[in-house]
Amino acid sequence: MDGMKTKNKTANQAWRKKPRKFAPKSRLGCKTCKIRRVKCDLSQPSCLKCLSTGRTCDGYGAMPLACKTEQIEIKPTHNHNESADGDGYDGYLPCTTISAYEPKQWHSKDRCRISQNLGPLTVLPMTGSIQAEAMSFFEDISIKHLNEYRPCESWRKTLMLFSQTVPSVRHAATALAMIHRKYLDHHSNDRVYEPYFMKDKLLDKTSLLHYNRAIQLLLKPNSGDSAEITAVTLLVSYLFTCFDHLVGDDVQAVKHLRGGVELSRNIDNATIYDYACHDSQPSGFHAIIGQVTKQIRRLDMQAGMFLVDWSPANIEEQFTPHLILFDSAFGSLDQAADHLQSLVSQVMWLRNTEQQTSPMGTVPPLPSSLKGMVLGQLETWSSLFENLLQRGHRSESAFETDRLVSLLRLQHTIARILLSTCHGPGGEMDYDNFLPQFQQCVALACEVAAAHQRYAGSSMSTFTPEIGIIPILYIIGAKCRHHLVRREALGILRCQLIREASWDSIATASVVERVIEIEEGAGGEEQMVQCMEQIPIWERIEALSFIHVPRGQSAARLDIEYTFCGREGTHIESLVI
């Protein structure tokens, strides 16, 4: 009997020593199942696994995807317990050197060219399965959403390269990917959209470890090239801005953005605009600096859409006419978008300056020439833009081109309305003169919203640091008093599960609903006003602001502060989210 026990024990031990046999992994599953690491049933056109769980199936790749894994010797310099994932590692570690979601041709050609331009680079090993999964999600999903409205392949490749080779960028990207994935999974699984205050629910120890580790690496004394340090600092600043906007900490996000803007002030503008964000490859860290600075300055100019006291860097210099340098048309849609963004920031600066009062309670005078000059620049921009479209410029895909064209026309139209009503003699009544333009804006917003649903999936909640249509729909709902037009804008907000920097579609819709109730009365739809003239000037809201109060002992809410035209006093209300 003892011999049988010994024999069985020996057999069990021998079985334990045998290496596990792994079945070959399928490379044919849909993208969503690959990210979730679950078996795909390969149903066409959308797999049943995704549909049964309420997810949007991202489809199947058009070509086989390649993933190269090699053994790299690791000499750890820290204790195993110090890894952000909490996973230990031995002397050898399997390291994914290229993304499993990228075609093999990109890595065999373009990646080598970037490495040669930037000098010797070392691909960082993954410190555990959690980080590997987060980086795959970052490269396949997060980067796509960060450039929601103006996709740029070379910028995407830059983020991928630095997240694979620079430790501080790797940790910042990992932290962002973890929060982004939790954000999407929360809304997809629970089917409940909670627009703000995700910080307490989403932040966990692992993502904070990566976030803080990126800060520690940035603060370490670095003897590297100054251009390299600047490029890395700007990249981390950009990722941190996205991270804090996503979790609802807009104050911290603005601090990171302000830091990146201040750092970019010392960079020559020629470095920024000589590098066009197309598919050409960068050459060296100076080109990378120009690339990331362009992204940060874009967010800097867009911040005026949600911060009244925000003045973009060098805003005074932007009033110098630049469009006269063009003969008849822009060279690309991206070039047209950059110039329009500059004009929109000027419009918002003029309006915000108008709203600021002096200590005597009067509006400080603004040179009328500035308003006329910017209006003239908007007209010139429209002419150059339409000439570009007539030439049949199609460097981007038709889908991306159509969406960006609609968005640019939408932003241009609303900028003209806002500037034309600035310093107007009729005040809030002047908006009634732009009903055709507001109707055009709603139609354009519908086109952009439909394109977004095709881009991200109708049931998926998305986040982007870029400003797109949400503040524009808010302006339509608050300033256009036509009962049908403003409700069409409200309907688009209700259907869009999207967050653009500080602007959230559902929270913005709640504010617009309250504005309609205040201005049109509490009679409901049956007693809805039939024409704009039925809303007298003293019943119209002139200035409105709102802040988000996170959920504590009470429910999350929006605190609204507003004033009426020609009436003294400030009104404060709270809306429960």
Show Cβ contacts of residue 462 under 8 Å, excluding neighbours closer than 6 positions.
Answer: 145, 148, 184, 452, 456, 497, 498, 499
At residue 353, does pLDDT exceed 70?
Answer: yes
At residue 298, does pLDDT exceed 50?
Answer: yes
CB 499 within 8 A of CB 508: no
At residue 214, does pLDDT exceed 70?
Answer: yes
Q: What is the pLDDT of residue 25?
A: 47
User: What is the total residue count of the chain?
Assistant: 577
One-character DSSP codes across 423-469: T-TTGGGGGGGGHHHHHHHHHHHHHHHHHHHHHH-TT--EEESS--S
Q: What is the pLDDT of residue 92?
A: 26
Question: What's the pLDDT band for 113 if we cut at 50, 70, 90?
Answer: very low
Question: What's the pLDDT band for 461 if we cut at 50, 70, 90?
Answer: confident
CB 56 within 8 A of CB 457: yes
- What six digits make up the tokens of 519? 């201005």
358 membership: H or E segment, kind and range: none
Q: What is the pLDDT of residue 403?
A: 86
Question: What's the pLDDT band for 233 if we cut at 50, 70, 90?
Answer: very high
Q: Tokens 């000589």 appear where?
A: 274
Taking the CA atoms of 355, 357, 363 and 369 in sequence, report the sign of the dihedral they define.
negative
Quick: pLDDT tens for 393-413: 554 456 567 889 999 999 999
Taking the CA atoms of 458, 464, 468 and 472 in sequence, report the sign of the dihedral they define.
positive
| Most confident option among 189-198, 448-457, 567-576 | 567-576
Quick: pLDDT tens for 47-85: 777 777 767 787 765 433 222 323 323 233 333 334 444
pLDDT above 90 coverage of the chain, percent: 29
Average pLDDT over residues 348-377: 67
Q: What is the pLDDT of residue 486?
A: 96
446 vs 533, which has greater pLDDT? 446
CB 439 within 8 A of CB 410: no
Angle at 74 between CA 72 and CA 79, to 5 degrees: 155
Quick: pLDDT tens for 312-339: 877 766 666 666 667 788 888 888 998 9
Q: What is the pLDDT of residue 527?
A: 59
Q: What is the pLDDT of residue 116?
A: 38
At residue 275, does pLDDT exceed 90?
Answer: no
Q: What is the pLDDT of residue 367?
A: 56
CB 31 within 8 A of CB 58: yes
Q: What is the pLDDT of residue 366?
A: 53
Quick: pLDDT tens for 410-423: 999 999 999 999 87
Show Cβ contacts of residue 519 under 8 Å, excluding neighbours closer than 6 positions.
Answer: 481, 535, 539, 540, 541
At residue 20, does pLDDT exceed 50?
Answer: no
- Going by the DSSP 8-state scheme, the letter that residue 279 receives in this structure is S
Predicted TM-score (pTM) of this structure: 0.74
193 vs 34, which has greater pLDDT? 34
Beta strands in 56-190 (DSSP E): 69-73, 92-96
